[in-house]
A and B are shown apart, each in its own frame.
Chain A
Amino acid sequence: MPTVEYRGMNLVIPENDSEWREHFKLARSHRLMLRGCNACGLLRYPPSHGCPWCVSLDWEWKEVSGRGTIHSYEIVVHAIQPGFKEWAPYPVVLVELDEQRGTPTEHEALRIIANLVTADFKPEAEQNVAIGKRVRVVFQDLTPDFALPQFTLSDEPPVGRVWSLPG
């Protein structure tokens, strides 16, 4: 079974995978592609088969800008996975993409989990992580067919209230 080794983990993507294979392969060409519904036009993440809103099974990959805002985050201090021990403390961010914010209802958005990394794919320092800060996608190439979409701080001004855990 095809696997990608990353930080001691086996990321398993079987030959008959219908969700992730193309997603990570498209990321390898350094494009963030999400599934878009051909019936209602709404994008969705993670890759899925039916549209969560109109239940159409007809979709195609659509490119998004990869720009967004930190909606929430955590700082992992005590890593669980052995391959992350030397990486800790590291931030995990929930990024809200610019496309489709507040659509189709007020609280819905395209959100993605990733690490907040520096230009050389090290974990961003904790004091630079905050809700409201602007980020852009970067691609961490792992194999010729596979890249992980990650995020890095952009130089755009923050959106709304900037907040991080006190202390």
Chain B
Amino acid sequence: MKSLKDKYCIVGVGETEYSRQSGRSTRAMAVEAIRNAMADAGLGRDGVDGMMSYQSGDSTPSNWVSPDLGLRLNFFMDVVGGGSSTEALVGLAMGAIEAGMCQTVALFRSMNGYSDFRIGGTGARSAQPVRGLDLAQVPFGMRSAGQSFAPTFMRHMYDHGTTSEQVAHVRAAHSRHASQNPKALLKDRVTVQAVLASRWIVKPLHLLDCCLETDNATCFIVTSAERARDLKQKPVFVLGVAGRVSKPRTDFHWAHGPISRVAGYHAKDIVFGQAGVTPEDIDITGSYDAFTFTTMLQLEEYGFCKKGEGGQYVSSGIIELGGRRPNNTSGGHLCEGYTHGMSMVIENVRQLRGRVDDYCPGWAEGRHTYDYSPGKCRQVKNARVTMNLGWSMPPTGSALILRN
């Protein structure tokens, strides 16, 4: 098969403020995030001719956003989806460019995930009629993401002896990272004990095992390596991508066990195979943290540790800044803000540029102190290769490997 390794790049990243009260439409936020990403890339209105987004009836489509940026598009597509769409759309954007349909694609997600269409499932979402496959779960009071995933987490504890205390380290680590991130909604560091002492939501999830709900828009721009040469930023190259790889029986994944296995089991050979690297070569991971457990499950399934040892891995210090392979250096969905995966790719792009927007006075010029105490630096020294592990549900996920 033809390899696209090193042929496509991410050349611009941008976002709005992360808040719980944006006070404006998803259209307004999308325009700002895309504009920021275009400015970051040094692209004007003639520089972007493709646009993609994902949503679940809670956002504004590309063709309503692009005119506000003066763009005439040769290609656009808005897909239904949440987590795991990010990485998949990188592959689709590459395909659209490879097919000659367009040259440069802005990929965005915009949502009022707190003030309007709450991601946690309360409000409007909980009142939606129940039909189709939802009838297999929702009538039993199993509707939100946490409720839908909890038996997977519980079975992992049964199968592998994983403990609440082990996965609480994910929250503690990400909160430490968020304390170095001016953009983060929650900048306070929390302890493992604080996670365990927080109230129960759906056992085995405490409140602090769960991510935030956030109003925001995020964007990054994909183009060919050829075209990237003339742009403002040092390009970040796509080594490999896997999109919405799934276990069997996505209609009812419980039917095909082990249920403590997640999609990375099937995705890892695709993405590592394309990239020609192994987990040992990855300097930073961005493992989707809708919940502490989702980070742990994916790191384990993609081979950063042995199957069943995810609990030990995430509680060993490896995933913290200063550790061997930090995860979600921005604070992720647990602490920075919830973006359906986009912010974790944006963070890894900034890491690979050596220009993470932390509290170091010279960050914009790439001058970092590498002092990981609160309110200081979050740049990883000499980061060369990063990986994003995108989570949709236990049986479906995506992955993306980038290099500088």
Residues of A within 8 A of B (CB): 3, 6-14, 19-20, 44-46, 48, 52, 71-82, 84, 87, 90, 92, 94, 107-111, 113-115, 126, 131, 148, 150, 161, 163, 165-167
Contacts and interface: CB of A to CB of B under 8 A. Distances in A.
A45 B255 CA distance: 8
Nearest to B196: A167
Contacts of B133: 46
B139 A6 contact: yes
A26 B248 CA distance: 28
Interface in B108-125: 120-122
Contact of A94 (B141, B249, B254, B256): B254
Nearest to A11: B130
Nearest to A3: B129
Contacts of B150: 74, 92
Interface in B241-265: 248-249, 251-252, 254-259
Contacts, number: 135
9 contacts: A9-B130, A12-B130, A46-B252, A72-B152, A78-B201, A87-B141, A108-B255, A109-B255, A148-B140
A52 B248 contact: yes
B140 A114 contact: yes
A77 B259 contact: no
B143 A80 contact: yes
A94 B141 CA distance: 13
B201 A77 contact: yes
A80 B130 contact: no
A111 B135 CA distance: 15
Interface residues of B, number: 45
A12 B147 CA distance: 21
B77 interface: no
B203 A74 contact: yes
- Taking each of A8, A76, A107, A161, which has the highest tally of chain B beta carbons within 10 Å of its own beta carbon? A76
Contact of A81 (B126, B151, B251, B255): B126
B252 A74 contact: no
Contacts of A78: 199-202
Given A11-B139, A113-B136, A80 B144 contact: yes
Contact of B255 (A12, A13, A110, A115): A110
A113 B256 contact: no
B130 A72 contact: no
B307 to A, nearest CB: 13
A20 B144 CA distance: 22
A165 B204 contact: yes
Contacts of A87: 141
Given A11-B139, A52-B248, A77 B129 contact: no
Nearest to A126: B203
B401 to A, nearest CB: 29
A11 B254 CA distance: 22
